[in-house]
Amino acid sequence: MLAYAIRRILMLVPVFLAVSVVIFLILHFIPGDPIDNLLKVGAPPEQRAEMMARYGLDRPLPVQYAIWLGKLLTGDLGTAIVARRPVADLIGQALPHSLLLGGLALAFSTVVGVTLGVVAALNKDRFLDRAIMGGVLFGSTLPSFWLGLLLILVFAVGLGWFPVSGARTWSSLVLPVLTIGLGGTALVARITRVSMVDIAAKDFVLLLHAKGLSPMRIQIRHVLRHALIPVVTILALRIGWILGGAVTVEVVFARPGLGTLLIKALSQHDYPVVQASLLMLAMAVMLGTLLGDLLQAAMDPRVRGALS
C-alpha cells in the first residue's frame, strides 16, 4: 500500500507543474495588468515603467515564471500588487470560509445522496425508485448560481427564514450549503443506486439469501458495503469540484471565501492573488483525486495490483 501511495504522489508532480504553467500563461495573456489599478488617469509612461520594474513585470515571461515557481516551492506566495499584502494572509483569511462551506456541502450531499440511493435500490423499478431518480436528475440539471438566486428569493426575501448574504451567523450557511450540496446529492444517489443494484446481482448475494439471512440485513451489511467503493471515489473527487463550484456560490451569497477573493483579484488583474487562488483550487482537485485513489486501493486490493 505504501509503494502504491508513493507512486500516486510522484504522478502528481508533473501534473502540478503543468497546471502551474497553464495558470501562469493564461493569466498573463489576458489583456490588461495590475498596474492599471495603481496608476492615476493620465500618469506619465515613466511612472508606469517604474512600477512595472518594481514588480518584475518588465521581465520575460519565462523568467517571471521561474521566479514565481521558485518562491512557490519555498512556501512564498508573493505579495498582492493591488492590496499590497502578503498573498498567504489573504488566502489564510478566505480559505477557512471556503473549507467550512465545502465540508458541510460534502457532508450534506453524502448523507442525503447515499440515503436516497439506498432507498431507490431497495425499491428498484417501483414508483419510489422512479420518483427519486427523476427528482435527483432534475436537481442535477439546475445551475448552481440559478439555484442560489432561487433559494434567496424564496427563503430569504420571501419567507425571511435565512439571511440573504454574509457569513456572520451559522444560519447564513444553510442556503449556500443547499445550493452546492444538492448538485452533489444527485450524483451520489445515482452512483449508490447503480452500484447496489449491480452488487445485488452477484453470486455471493444469492448465496446469502440461500443461507436464510434477512433481505434488509443483506442489503445494508453486505451489498451496501461493497457498493460504497465507487461512491467513496466520487466523494473524494467531489472535494475539488465543491471548492471550484463554491466560487460562483460565494459570489452569489457575498461570502468572504476564496471565490470572492478570486473574482475581486481577477477584476484587478492582481497576478499573485489570482495565481495562488487558482493553484489552491487545482491542488484541491489533485488531492481529492489522490485521496479517492488511496481509499479505493485500501478498500479493493485489486486496484493496488493493477499498478504494481
190 burial class (0-12, 13-18, 19+ CB within 10 angstroms)? buried
Task: Check residue 254 and give its pLDDT.
Answer: 79
CA atoms within 13 A on the CB side of 127: 0
Closest C-alpha among 15, 8, 17, 13 to residue 236? 8
Residue 42 has a pLDDT of: 65
Contacts for 55 with CB less than 8 Å, ≥ 6 apart: 34, 35, 81
5 within domain boundaries: no
SS (H, E, C) 220-278: HHHHHHHHHHHHHHHHHHHHHHHHHHHHHHHHHCCCCCHHHHHHHHHHHCCHHHHHHHH
Residues 243-288 have pLDDT tens digits of 766 777 888 887 888 888 888 888 777 888 888 888 888 888 888 7
Q: What is the pLDDT of residues 291-305, one digit of tens each?
A: 777 777 776 666 555
| 94 band by pLDDT with thresholds 50, 70 and 90 | confident
**Number of domains present in the structure of the chain:** 1
Distance CA 121, CA 119 (A): 6
Per-residue confidence (pLDDT) for residue 63, from 0 to 100: 87
Cβ pair 276, 266 in contact under 8 A: no
Residue 51 lies in a domain: no
Let me know if residue 154 belongs to a domain.
Answer: yes
Average pLDDT over residues 93-108: 85
pTM of the model: 0.76
Q: What is the CATH number of the domain that holds 266?
A: 1.10.3720.10
Contact of 36 with 81, CB cutoff 8 Å:
no
Each residue of 220-243: b (16+ CB within 10 Å) or e?
A: eebbbebbbbbbbbbbbbbbbbbb
Give residue 250's pLDDT. 80
d(CA 223, CA 219): 5
The answer to the question of residue 71 being in a domain is no
pLDDT at 102: 82
pLDDT in tens, 142-154: 777 778 888 888 8
pLDDT, average across residues 15-19: 88
Amino acid at 296: Q
Decide if 176 is inside a domain: yes
The tens digit of pLDDT for each residue in 184-221 reads 788 888 888 888 888 877 777 777 777 777 777 777 77
pLDDT of residue 33: 67
Q: Give the residue carrying C-alpha cell 481577477.
A: 266
Q: Does residue 78 lie within any of the structural domains?
A: no
Residue 167 lies in a domain: yes
Q: For residue 16, tell me if it sits in a domain.
A: no
Mean pLDDT of the chain: 79
Mean pLDDT of 134-140: 78
36-83 pLDDT tens trace: 666 666 667 777 777 777 777 778 888 888 888 888 888 888 888 777
Q: Which pLDDT value is given to residue 304? A: 54
Residue-range definition of the domain harbouring residue 135: 87-307
**Residue-wise pLDDT tens digits, 148-175:** 888 888 888 888 788 777 777 777 888 8
